[in-house]
Amino acid sequence: MKRTDYILIFFKGIAMGAADVIPGVSGGTVAFITGIYERLINAIKNVNIKNIKLLLKGKFRDFCINMDIAFLIVLLSGIAVSFVSLAKLMTFLITDYPILVWSFFFGLIFASTIFVARSVNWNIKTVAAFVIFTIIAFFVTSPENAPLNSDSEYWYIFLCGAIAICAMILPGISGSFILVLLGQYLYMMEALAKFNFIVIGIFLCGAGIGIVAFSRVLSWLFKHFKAITLASLTGFMFGSLNKIWPWKTTLSKFIDQHGTEQPLSQKNILPSCNGDSYLLYAIMFAFVGFILIFTIEFISKKIKHSKLS
């Protein structure tokens, strides 16, 4: 690859990392839009015994070629830069401006749903998959449900890493959004912002095992049931919008590891039920989030077109 290709991949990594930090748009969606999705899945899938043996035998060149190591290192570097640089900002914004932030996320998820839906070959089977997963997601992600675990034991952080990374490489589902559902989003953002290497290391160990295992399942699903898989993801995103609804009232609370009172379960309400609803600003932020997805797609198409011409 040329040096310009590496620079472009690095910035695609930054975009993927930014997407994965925000619980609204998937890094997998960015990879899908920017044309590196299949290459990423194939590189991850090649983490196998055969290639590990090449490394142990000292055949580094063959190992690097089979694993597409240069591509992975450059891409992961961009993702890491995004994670570290955005963690503090996201922690601050989601704590101090929740309605505006969740409105932005709402726009992102809604646009991501439309984007993925456009790539589905719609028929009876795919429509059925969409409806089923919309219903499942709506009830599973209801804000009235308490997170699966509000504590932050190491075994649970490991499990969250394994589950969230699977969502991060799916085109449509945000890994950070999964962390919201699992009750660990803010905790992990704080860990990144404060460079808590123990927590980050445990999370990455879970992510490493999860992504190697899941990439094979995902590759098989896309090979044999691509349309149904994409329709199911579309339904999951659409049904999950109720979790991202900006206006909520708290039903129950818990005390976190810092001794701070945090909401445990909530209920969606209309903006009119909230005296300080920021309705106009919320609509503006949702619109910006919505437009951002299609802006990324437009820029990606321009880059592809310039490469071909």
pLDDT of residue 123: 92
Asked if the model's pLDDT at residue 270 lies above 90, the reply is no
In whole angstroms, give the CA distance from residue 91 to residue 189: 6
In whole angstroms, give the CA distance from residue 233 to residue 229: 6
CB-based contacts of 155, cutoff 8 Å, min separation 6: none
In whole angstroms, give the CA distance from residue 266 to residue 137: 17
The residue-averaged pLDDT of 265-292 equals 79
The residue-averaged pLDDT of 171-198 equals 76
Rg of the chain, C-alpha, whole Å: 20
pLDDT of residue 126: 93
pLDDT of residue 128: 95
CB atoms under 10 Å from CB of 306, counted, come to 8
**Average pLDDT along the chain:** 78
CB-based contacts of 276, cutoff 8 Å, min separation 6: none
| DSSP-assigned beta bridge partners for residue 248 | 268
Tokens of residue 101, six digits? 């932030």
Nearest to 246 by CA among 206, 274, 215: 274
For residue 34, give the DSSP letter: T
- 111-297-245 Cα angle (round to 5): 15
Report in angstroms the alpha-carbon separations of 286 from 55, 122, 218, 299: 48, 27, 31, 20
Using pLDDT thresholds of 50, 70 and 90, give the confidence band for residue 287. very high
Who wins on pLDDT, 125 or 250? 125
pLDDT of residue 47: 73
Name the H helices within the chain.
Answer: 3-21, 27-33, 37-45, 49-56, 60-67, 69-96, 98-118, 124-140, 154-168, 175-182, 185-193, 197-239, 241-244, 279-308
The residue-averaged pLDDT of 110-125 equals 86
Question: Over the stretch 141-175, which tens digit does the pLDDT of each residue have?
Answer: 777 665 555 556 788 889 888 888 877 666 656 67
Tokens of residue 226, six digits? 């691509």
Who wins on pLDDT, 47 or 102? 102
pLDDT of residue 275: 56
pLDDT of residue 273: 65
For 34-48, 67-81, 122-136, which range has the lowest pLDDT when averaged over its residues? 34-48
Nearest to 219 by CA among 41, 29, 43: 41
- Most confident option among 53-62, 115-124, 244-253: 115-124
Are 96 and 201 within 8 A, CB to CB?
no
Asked if the model's pLDDT at residue 130 lies above 90, the reply is yes
Question: Over the stretch 201-234, which tens digit does the pLDDT of each residue have?
Answer: 999 898 888 887 777 777 788 788 888 988 988 8
Q: What is the largest CA-CA distance in the chain?
A: 67
**Residue 137 burial (10 A CB sphere; 0-12, 13-18, 19+):** buried
pLDDT of residue 92: 77
What values do phi and psi take at 252, rounded to 5? -150, 160
